[in-house]
Structure 1
Amino acid sequence: MGGLFVALGDSFTEGVGDYNPNFPNGVRGWADRVAKQLGKQDPDFRYANLAVRSKRLHQIIADQLEPAIAMEPTLVSFYAGGNDILEFKRSMPELMAEYESAIRQLSETGARLILFTGFEVMLPPVLEPMRRRNWAFNEAVRELSRRYDAVLVDHWAFDRYQDRRMWDTDRLHMSSLGHRYMAARVLEALGVDHTLRLKQPEPLVPAGWRQAVRRERDWLQEWVIPMFGRKFKGVTLGDNLPPRWPEPVRVSRGLKKLARQRSAASAG
């Protein structure tokens, strides 16, 4: 069989929020988990992940599209545009035209294509315009998934993500729990049986108003203000990061083992 899954995108696909020092770039993520499950069914199955955090759509197209197509994948996931939505000056029609051009090229490879909507993340009222841009993005992705016969993973519709434990402390990236749940939903969308165990979290204990106010203050100070500071300076968290799995790896050999071997080789 020997299929090949190539994942393209930004932090969502790189795995930010699912922190694990045993994997490249210190994260694991839903795509690694999906690849592991697919590798259990086919020992020759291979996987590459070209996603890098903070990348805009045009960067993903410039850096990842051609290498992905050259690998001749049988399965491709594509999530891009989330960081562009945060840029109010970015025209949504232009963004989606560029997005469609990318998925058209991926579709022409004959690979099975996976697309995602974006979740309606918990934002304060001052950032309401971002939610409206996200709605427009999601509607366009749904239409394009029908047009190009892509598998749609409708993240927006997953009620489980209303639970704040599904998110990292920055509220923009999924936690380990969120990535594990996403992996299961991707596999289900593909019609693939899996062995991922998803425990139902205990009911949340409502926070008191002092704790809620403190949580909002800490979030603004630790995440929102630094994020806009980086935007002002024109720097991102992914500026000097390489893709996690830039070349196809045979998943059945164990991604953690492969990561150790790669780290040892670079150190030597």
Structure 2
Amino acid sequence: MGEETTSFTHRYVALGDSFTEGVGDWDPRSPNGVRGWADRVAEQLILADPSWGYANLAIRGRKMRQILGEQVDAALALKPTLVTIYAGANDILRPSIDLDALLAEYDAGIARLRASGAAVVLFTGFDSSKSAVFAKTRGRTAIYNELVREIADRHDAEIVDYWRMREFQNWGYWDVDRMHMAAAGHTLMAARVLEVLKAAHSIEVPELEARPAATRLAQLRTDALWARDYLGPWVGRRLRGQSSGDTVTVKYPELTHPVWTKETTSP
């Protein structure tokens, strides 16, 4: 690992859950069958400067303590110069949560990452006010966001302000499961992250086609199918103490160039 790590001048390591793993941005070329905004950010960094290496340690379904316990040490071993981390979304969806205690642990994890010398990028949580199912978590997310902002200020970390990105209120940016961004959403997020990093990029955010308004009956049918195919299984896993990531492995555990950049760049 040491030789492979030091062969890259710049080292980007992405940490988190399904958001960072790339769920919703389906791509059979990619490990786990998903690409995602972090892979797209890495691609732009590498295309601009092949001395960048990239690792993505995120796994869907992970809660904050799992991310801190499983991913922070692994990230530090890769000697990162840049870390992105988003943790806590899966905790917010649980029946009960002690946000103050949880974010105190997050603060300690971010302190360790910053102490390594790496630049760190954090995310606020998404404003779910337009979601019929997840709108009730809006208040928790708002508190989470304020605590994350304090952590960012304390440790001189950057913030990608997902909460204020009103574009994502357009459901065209979301996958059919209504829980994860689709390819268009991940593409837009990659552009926003690169803007925070002040990095030039060639990402073109796709224009969304206007969707005709559905009749009430058609919407009810669509909602019923969604509840059967996505909401029901999601609730069932939680009742059984299971996670969608239980059998998933890390996409890029070592620093590399993503598969779609290898024809144009080399380590």
TM-score normalised to structure 1 length: 0.90
Report the CA distance between 1:128 and its aligned residue. 4.2
Does structure 1 conserve the Cα–Cα contact (< 8 Å) formed by 2:187 and 2:205? Answer: yes
- Letter of the structure 2 residue corresponding to residue 173 of structure 1: H
- The residue identity in structure 1 corresponding to 2:144 is F
The residue aligned with 2:184 is 177
Q: Whole-Å Cα distance in 1 between the matches of residues 12 and 171 of structure 2?
A: 30
Letter in 2 for 1:36: E
Matched, 1:17 2:34: no
The equivalent residue for 2:148 is: 141
Alignment of 1:45-56 (within 5 A): 45-56=52-63
Residues in 2 aligned to 1:137 and 1:43: alpha-carbon distance in whole angstroms: 36
SS at the partner of 2:188?
helix
1:240 aligns with 2:244: no
Q: How does 1:51-130 map to 2 (within 5 A)?
A: 51-121=58-128, 122-124=130-132, 127-130=134-137
Q: CA–CA distance in 1 between the matches of 2:139 and 2:124?
A: 13
Q: Shift in Å at residue 112 of structure 1?
A: 0.7
1:88 positional shift: 2.3
Q: For the aligned residues, what is the CA RMSD? A: 1.5
CA shift for structure 1 position 255: 1.9
Letter paired with 2:73? E
The one-character-per-residue Cα deviations of 1:170-197 (angstroms, maximum 9, x if unpaired) are 1111000000000000001100110011
What secondary structure is seen at the aligned counterpart in 1 of 2:60? coil
Shift of 1:167: 0.5
| Runs of 4+ that moved beyond 3 A | none
Deviation at 1:257, TM superposition (A): 7.2
Q: Percent identity?
A: 43
**CA displacement, residues 5-30 of structure 1 (integer Å, 9 cap, x when unaligned):** 00000000000000011100000000
Q: Structure 1 residue 94: deviation in Å?
A: 1.3
1:203-222 equivalences in 2 (<5 Å) = 203-222=210-229
Aligned amino acid, residue 15 of structure 1:
G
Task: Give yes or no for contact 2:43–2:261 (8 Å, CA) kept in 1.
Answer: no
1:256 CA displacement: 3.5
Q: Gaps spanning 5+ residues in structure 1: where?
A: 259-268
Q: Structure 1 residue 214: deviation in Å? A: 1.5
Q: Secondary structure at the match of 2:145?
A: helix
Counterpart-to-counterpart distance in 2, 1:131 and 1:53: 21
Partner of 2:260: 256
Deviation of the 1:143 alpha carbon: 2.1
Residue pair 2:47, 2:261 contacting (<8 A) in 1 also? no
Taking the aligned partners of 2:206 and 2:59, their CA distance within structure 1 comes to: 29
Q: Quick one: which amino acid aligns to residue 57 of structure 2?
A: L
1:35 to 42, 59, 78: 42
Question: Is 1:156 paired with 2:160?
Answer: no
The amino acid of 1:4's aligned partner reads: R
Q: Is residue 198 from structure 1 mapped to residue 202 from structure 2 by the alignment? A: no
Q: Check whether the contact 1:76–1:114 (CA below 8 A) recurs between aligned residues.
A: yes
The DSSP-based 3-state class of the residue aligned with 1:113 is strand
Matched residue type, 1:247: E
1:132 CA drift (Å) = 1.3
Mean alpha-carbon deviation: is it higher for 185-194 or for 113-122?
Answer: 113-122
- Matched with 1:7 is 14
